[in-house]
Chains A and B, each alone.
Chain A
């Protein structure tokens, strides 16, 4: 079993839909949680960064962390075709020197 599980999709939604992307993990030591967005033929770019449990909002994006369930989510409101990309979750423990990535979910927002 992988340390971080992420549904690879692909996921297709109509423009304007609310998108929910999720990851589960097994390591209870994880404290820092990130979402990266990767456009085709580009490097991943950091979208959201959260510490421990709770919610964080940035524009149309909301990151949620539920440490008791070992479950993190990224919500995208009013999705746009420009949101079409692969979304990777990543996390690490406080002492870790490296991130553990999910395998990514491919999202397509149809105009």
Chain B
């Protein structure tokens, strides 16, 4: 059973489009995250939700909006996609900010 699953795995789209990435965890964790990994493998946190409440909101353009309908789900919606948004986006979850479990990533390519 997949612990943290995110879809889609690949997303290729044109500049200016709006897209969403979905994430679900079945570990019973209380905290979920979105990370962005650039081409040099550097992982940067974007958002974190604890029990559906936004607790970390790093300096990210307003075009990025997370939504947590319940503790097991955290989605990421991106408006007006730009070339610089191309990266791998990882969802992760943890219990009490302890060990992070990552999904397999969504490779976003903006053309």
Q: Which residues of A contact B (CB under 8 A)?
A: 8, 34, 36, 38, 41-46, 49, 86, 88, 90, 92, 96-99, 101, 103-104, 106
Q: Are A41 and B43 in contact (CB under 8 A)?
A: no
Distance between A107 CB and nearest chain B CB, rounded to angstroms: 12
Within 8 Å CB of A38, what residues of B?
Answer: 41
Q: Are B97 and A101 in contact (CB under 8 A)?
A: no
Residue in B45, B101, B103, B104 whose CB lies within 8 Å of A46: B101
Q: Are B42 and A104 in contact (CB under 8 A)?
A: yes
Given A44-B102, A98-B48, the answer on whether A104 and B90 have CB atoms closer than 8 Å is no
Distance between B70 CB and nearest chain A CB, rounded to angstroms: 20
Majority SS of interface residues in chain B?
strand
Residue in B42, B45, B48, B103 whose CB lies within 8 Å of A43: B103
Chain B interface category by residue count:
20 to 34
How far is B43's CA from A38's CA once the two chains are assembled, in angstroms?
Answer: 11
Within 8 Å CB of A99, what residues of B?
Answer: 45, 100
5 A-B pairs with the lowest CB-CB distances in the bound complex, closest first: A43-B102, A104-B41, A101-B43, A103-B42, A43-B104
Within 8 Å CB of B33, what residues of A?
Answer: 98
Within 8 Å CB of A45, what residues of B?
Answer: 101-102
